[in-house]
Amino acid sequence: MKLDEVVKRITEAIQKKRVVEVTYIRGEDGVRTCRMMEPFDVAIGRRHKTGRKMFWGWCREHNELESKIPANIISIEITDETFNPKIREKTFGSPARYEIKRDWK
């Protein structure tokens, strides 16, 4: 997907606190993969040195925060399932500084 398409879909899911189903091509082996994720942002990672924006979300299968390269994402489907971002934010190593604006109260 193009970066602007990823940002649009993820922004919508973030605003609604909705879980997304992300289908993507894994960079390490080229395998098509699908994951249920809680979306958090599309931004340049603080520890990543590539300088490119990534999709960041909590992977429900691996139970950890993961990043996906937007160009490797095939589709993002917004589900009806909601999530509580405060639960995951407690596990972050530092306070979250989001690029995508949200009103998570």
CA 37 to chain centre: 7
H helix intervals, 1-105:
3-16, 85-89
Which token pair is 56? Answer: 């960041």
Percent of the chain at pLDDT > 90 equals 79
pTM of the model: 0.91
pLDDT band for position 47 (50/70/90)? low
Q: What are the C-alpha distances in Å from 29 to residues 25, 58, 60, 72?
A: 8, 21, 21, 12
Residue 41 bridge partners (DSSP): 56
Other beta carbons within 10 Å of 54: 19
